[in-house]
Structure 1
């Protein structure tokens, strides 16, 4: 089952290798994604391996308290589709047909100095190296757990497959594999709790069994020892939702959708997928507490879904369900590789070295960048004791604080200036990096919260101290406002 799945994914990469004609095709698929593929691709690349590993692992260790992360993510997903998607699609197309986020920032603020493009590309490179490595870690743990091979061998197999089809097919290969991977993830995350609850004798019997282990497992505001979850803890969990507005691999889907009219349909599909999947993931973790005979300790809790599947199903069905974990890993890692590679190509190579490079040359530079970034991420992933959720949390906060406030205000505040955008990105990104190094007291607050607050303040202060945007920028902003209302 694993081999069939892996061959199918690489076949998709090969198909789109022959359909890729220029950089726009490789980076954004020529802006031709329909609503179904856009929504499924966005959510599959969003949720990553932590939907079937990190979140169930958190629920296994803390019970219903993990639901606050799910609630924050569901709210963030909705607001991102509702507030950002359509307007970003319109603005990026209207403002110089931007292909990447750095490209958009440069065009939006008519930045001839290239400073916005370069600084945003630097942060993309920094945080995506960590984010991609989390996917490789998840893939390594999967192969190692299922087939009993060493972590290093498992890590190498997963990384090679992801790199091959991303290298070959670019954005369309990534999105179409994400589409099928999203379906697989949904089936797996829903099927397992339904079957386990049925095997245990129904919902009421299952709830009683969980209560017998520890009544606090079903209490969303209590820790397992009976103490109340701190306000900082709840805010930190809900704050995951704030990260959506700054995730380049998700925003790229909004930029690539066929038309802004497709956004509403895509939003409905995405929200249905997200709410059901997140709820099921939390339930899986809690079911693992009563289903598994051998307790899982520490980061091994992230293997709860895989171990349950191994014990419950025959190899064919189990192979399909476990391939869904691989799908979750691959659907995010491939997106991150592609965004990072496109940023290196568009925002470094083309801008600083080869302004007149041909499309064919740029596509091959992107492919080479995919391979180089993958090697670095692979190196970072060599520690098998790494926590998937921990790595994702850091990268998620980094992107959320660096780009989230800048994206929102650039779309909706006409007075924002280039200096404000620069200050927002730098202050937000650096706050996350510094805050992460501090521990204790207020510093237990998830780093995305102070990062976003500092970024917002910096954008407002530096924009208002700066001269007003010129007439060209004002006119373009007004046109976007008009088109957003009409479409």
Structure 2
């Protein structure tokens, strides 16, 4: 156990989190509606950009990529490529739409288009999916802390979860955003330095020994981002479909856009968020491939080999800096995956059904309580240690039909029955594909769930909207014209 590294990392996290919270509390501002969950819709470009980037740069990008390089090598970088495409979609379309409508949650859009029952249905599913992601992020916190302490992962998850709650519960999304800004700078300084120093620790002082390891063992495909045709078709393109058509409408990613100062802020944020997020995957793949090529770390297995290698091979100060940045990136995603379902529960269920006249103070209190409850449950679930990227892609598949139902409502047609049929059909298909022998019966074993949910969504959604009458798409409606007029007055 390397006490100096552990102490340095924990001091860094606590000082940054507490310091930012103190700074925000000292600033004399007029508190707007939704200040805790949406920051008064006043976040600047820099904060929105790094929050978008780090919200989807957590356990899956770091430990998940380390884990996947074990079997598919550099092809694991497709997870990062998919998120770059995702950020383009969000900053050019869905992020702008939610900011323009002034909504607090994605399910609010479903009520505008399809009625209250559809909103409640989507609220329950989306909150459940985000909670699933939260459990994986909690596992990631446990793995990082386990690498530094030698504790069991479940014990590390408890400590990490407690820090994660502190990350968000003090000042809400403003706290998350400004802490992210500090952590993003530290993270990239640590990554670049670690990648350089790590090369000098290898035989020959370069990564040539890593390349030779895979070439000599007959696994040269692991050095290419295209891998094998099977990997490219199933994992690579399947991940793009799962990520873009799920996260593109996910509350956890769109909440920072809802909190942006204006639409121009979101558009400008793309030029920071996309490279900040995408480049990280390249560094993660290099580290993951290196760990497997060194026998003493390869025997540890995919869960902890890479992080253990960093602790053992890098100078103490640099490993502390890098692990602190990894922990911070995962904490950022932990924060948003606890804040966003808490926001959905508070706004779409508690306020919508039970306390429509609730004050901002009451709503903030409910959000905070919900965050703590979700975090406690996530700490318990994280000990089961499911495969990270495989679990992520399965969870993402549940949100694919929501993306298309919202898009149909914006640009084509709005019919409640068509929307519900599309959602339920896709969710049933996703469940059957995971928990029955249907893939084997159709001779399609290995086909990603995202392909299945996308296919069912488009078939049922297009067919039902063609058959059933409905209101014109929102962008063609008088409601949208009225909203534009209201925005000009504001």
Same fold (TM over 0.5): yes
Q: Could you tell me whether the CA contact under 8 Å between 1:427 and 1:454 is conserved in 2?
A: yes
Q: Could you tell me whether the CA contact under 8 Å between 1:23 and 1:362 is conserved in 2?
A: no
SS at match of 1:302: coil
The residue correspondences of 1:64-463 to structure 2 (distance < 5 A) are 64-90=74-100, 92-93=101-102, 98-107=103-112, 109=113, 111=115, 114-200=116-202, 201-202=205-206, 207-213=211-217, 214-222=219-227, 229=231, 231-242=233-244, 243-291=246-294, 293-296=296-299, 300-383=301-384, 385-399=385-399, 401-411=400-410, 413-438=411-436, 440=440, 441-463=443-465
Residue of structure 2 in register with 1:12 after alignment: 20
Cα distance, 1:338 vs. partner?
0.7
How many pairs align? 468
Cα distance, 1:369 vs. partner?
1.1
Q: Deviations over 1:328-368 (max 9, x none)?
A: 21111110111111111111111211122222111111111
CA distance in 2, matches of 1:230, 1:343: 35
- Let me know the Cα RMSD of the aligned residues: 2.9
Q: Could you tell me whether the CA contact under 8 Å between 2:84 and 2:275 is conserved in 1?
A: no
Give structure 2 stretches of 5+ with no counterpart.
1-7
Cα distance, 1:219 vs. partner?
3.7
CA distance in 2, matches of 1:462, 1:481: 30
**Gap change, CA 1:322 and 1:367, over 3 Å in 2:** same
Q: Could you tell me whether the CA contact under 8 Å between 2:66 and 2:288 is conserved in 1?
A: yes
SS at match of 2:59: coil
CA distance in 1, matches of 2:22, 2:421: 42
CA distance in 1, matches of 2:164, 2:365: 17
Q: Deviations over 1:411-436 (max 9, x none)?
A: 3x142333333333333334333322
Find 1:44's aligned residue among 54, 72, 77: 54
Q: Deviations over 1:430-485 (max 9, x none)?
A: 4333322245442422212211222233333333444332799811335679999x
Cα distance, 1:102 vs. partner?
1.3
Cα distance, 1:234 vs. partner?
4.2
CA distance in 2, matches of 1:219, 1:425: 37
CA distance in 1, matches of 2:364, 2:370: 10
Residue of structure 1 in register with 2:3 after alignment: none
Residue of structure 1 in register with 2:69 after alignment: 59
CA distance in 2, matches of 1:168, 1:3: 18
Q: TM-score, normalised by structure 2?
A: 0.86
